Amino acid sequence: MKAHGMAGHLIRRLNQVSTHVFSQHMQEAGLDLTPVQFAAMDAIATHPGIDQASVAAHIAYDRATIGGVIDRLEQKGFVARNVSKRDRRAREVRLTDRGQEVLDEILPVVTALQEEILTGLDDAERQTFLRLARKAIGSLPDQTG
């Protein structure tokens, strides 16, 4: 079997396409934001005061490197961190007003670009793909560690 027909290769290529499309749209919007930073902002907006480890869990990202993602969002003025009142070792994260403005601005853009990522599929195929991708991901052990 040739690599280009293997699931891992196809998933990697689709990730490349997805990242490129996302980056292109963020550049057009005048924003320096990665897909992981967007996902983190979305998780933080959904769960204000969430700790960094929980952000990593919500977006299926590595706990060891989520701090760097949050650092960059903080440097951009999109999030603020505070020491947790419940656990002095934990840092709670919230969107700043600017972060909420940016998220509100880009959410429609990110929603619209989803079709572009799967541009070769019609609506029914896109829904089937998403259902199967969720099923495949749901059957995997948690590797975000």
| Separation of alpha carbons 36 and 65, rounded Å | 11
- Could you give the residue ranges of the DSSP H alpha helices within 3-145? 7-28, 35-46, 52-58, 66-75, 97-117, 123-138
Query: Per the domain annotation, does 8 fall within a domain?
Result: no
Q: Could you give the 3-state DSSP secondary structure of residue 129?
A: helix
Q: Is residue 11 part of a domain?
A: no
Give the structural domain span for 127.
Answer: 21-138
Q: What pLDDT does residue 87 have?
A: 73
In a domain, 125, yes or no: yes
Taking only Cα atoms into account, the Rg of the chain, rounded to an integer number of angstroms, comes to 17
CATH number at residue 71: 1.10.10.10
Half-sphere exposure at residue 143, Cβ-oriented, CA atoms within 13 angstroms: 5
- Do the domain assignments include residue 99? yes
Residues 6+ apart with CB under 8 A from 67: 52
Half-sphere exposure of 108 (CA within 13 A, CB side): 4
Query: For position 145, what pLDDT does the model report?
Result: 44
> Does residue 6 lie in a domain region?
no
| Structure confidence at residue 80 (pLDDT) | 95
- The dihedrals phi and psi of 61, each to the nearest 5 degrees, come to -120, 155
Reported pTM: 0.85
Residues 6 or more apart in contact with residue 80 via CB below 8 angstroms: 74, 93, 94, 96
Tokens of 10: 């196809």
Note whether residue 82 is domain-resident: yes
pLDDT at 131 (0 to 100): 92
Instruction: Assess if residue 76 is contained within a domain.
Output: yes
**Number of independent structural domains in the chain:** 1
Q: Is residue 5 part of a domain?
A: no
Question: Chunked in runs of 10, what are the mean pLDDT values of the chain (145 residues)?
Answer: 81 93 94 94 94 92 91 96 76 94 94 90 93 84 53
